[in-house]
Amino acid sequence: MRLPSIDILRALAIVLMIVVHFVENLSGSYGSDGGPFLGAARYGWLPTGFAAPLFTFLSGVSYRLWLDAQTRRGRDDVTISKATVRRGLLLMLLGFAFNVVVWTPEDVFNWDVLTFIGTAILALDVVRRMPPWPTALTACLVVAVSPALRSLADYPAAWTDGSFDYDFTLHDVALGFLVTGYFPVFPWIAFPIAGFLAAPAILGPAAGGEDRGPLRPLAGGGLLVAASAVAIALRPVLPSTLTSSTAAWTMFPATTAYVLGTLGATVIALTLLHRRLDGGDGRAAVATPWASALSRHALTIYLLHHVVHVWPLWAWGYASTGEMTSLWQVAMPAWIAVVCGLVCVVAMAVVARWMDQTRAPSAESLLRWLSDP
């Protein structure tokens, strides 16, 4: 069962992801003397840091919907677990292959979003067997202890040039997976767990819950946003071991204020969109075909949009300087990168619609064929 609210939010995440990645990789340090990997965050007008929370939260929501569908079909627990584990492991393997092929072999263990979502799916196979309240407490503890763990792991030492840099040792690879990578378990696992737990309250019968109205999830989202504001306000008086960042709101590392704020905003957005669009009254009729296509092929688009702009960047850099990565983040002004990103968004939407209409093979269809029961 596809819900317009989920498709629209995931499509929004795709648009934000593509534009931010184009600016990040083509223009992150353009025209600056501030050193490598200043990143897209230096452009205050760019909506950085919002796509990943949407993707990871919705991965938990989608797993809950898939799980309920499998249960209704009479699938037994072992069959569900096998399918879940296969999907998680395949996504992790795809993530490693993506790091090598699109980036460089040295980046194989940078723990990007694909390997994280694969890890999250494996974790959700455990979470689905746990009572809700202990699971929620676990997610809260993950967020609470993450700053201290970053301090113990010396997070800044892994980001000396502004990007995750590790040695090929078990120590560094394990720390990257748990704490210091791009999307480490602490604190990012809280997003898919929250999505899994919140789905029944937000979506009601669609996710195996009761329709109790939007008050509870809206209140919960509002409390998270308020807690984020409190975390920002208290940061100047907190010990450094509880902050582990130079700013109150950053994505790398994912500070407590960032986690709480983006999680609360996502809960509120999904709740409002569900109440507005999922009633079957045609309110989302114009946007749904395009949003559904983008959402349905999010994995394919994630892979393709990197190939479209990163491979030419490597080829251009090698041809002009003899060094493959020489033009990374300095290839063009940010406004040109934004235009290129928006063109890519349109192209990806057309490709996604074509794949829907022709039932063309995709990364999603291959993943289903390999993992679904």
Helices (H) and strands (E) in the chain, counts: 14, 0
Q: Residues for the chain: how many in total? A: 373
Distant-in-sequence, close-in-space partners of 282: CB < 8 Å, separation ≥ 6: none
| Residue 17 near residue 85, CB atoms below 8 Å | no
CA atoms within 13 A on the CB side of 161: 7
Cα-to-chain-centroid distance, residue 360 = 25
Please give the Cα distance from 72 to 232 (Å, whole number): 44
CB neighbour class for 58 (10 Å; exposed up to 12, middle 13-18, buried from 19)? buried
Give every residue of the chain whose pLDDT is below 70, as ranges.
Answer: 1, 33-37, 239-246, 280-287
Helices 298-321, 363-371: axis angle to 10 degrees equals 130
Give me the pLDDT at residue 185, please: 98
| Residue 128 near residue 70, CB atoms below 8 Å | no
Please give the Cα distance from 365 to 356 (Å, whole number): 11
Count: domains in the chain: 1
The sign of the CA dihedral 192, 104, 352, 287 is positive
Give me the pLDDT at residue 235, please: 81
CA-based nearest residue to 306, from 339, 337, 344, 333: 344
Alpha helices in 237-333 (DSSP H): 256-277, 288-296, 298-321
Q: What is the largest CA-CA distance in the chain?
A: 62
User: 249: which DSSP letter?
Assistant: S
pLDDT in tens, 209-231: 888 888 899 999 999 999 999 99
Residue 3, SS3 per DSSP: coil
Between the alpha carbon of residue 291 and those of residues 9, 83, 317, the distances in Å are 8, 27, 35
Please give the Cα distance from 185 to 78 (Å, whole number): 25
SS3 breakdown of the chain: % helix, strand, coil, rounded to 5?
70, 0, 30
CA dihedral of 71, 9, 14, 302, whole degrees rounded to 10: -10
| Residue 146 near residue 217, CB atoms below 8 Å | no
Please give the Cα distance from 116 to 113 (Å, whole number): 5
Please give the Cα distance from 186 to 174 (Å, whole number): 12
Query: 């490709």: which residue's tokens?
Result: 351
Range of the domain at 352: 4-371
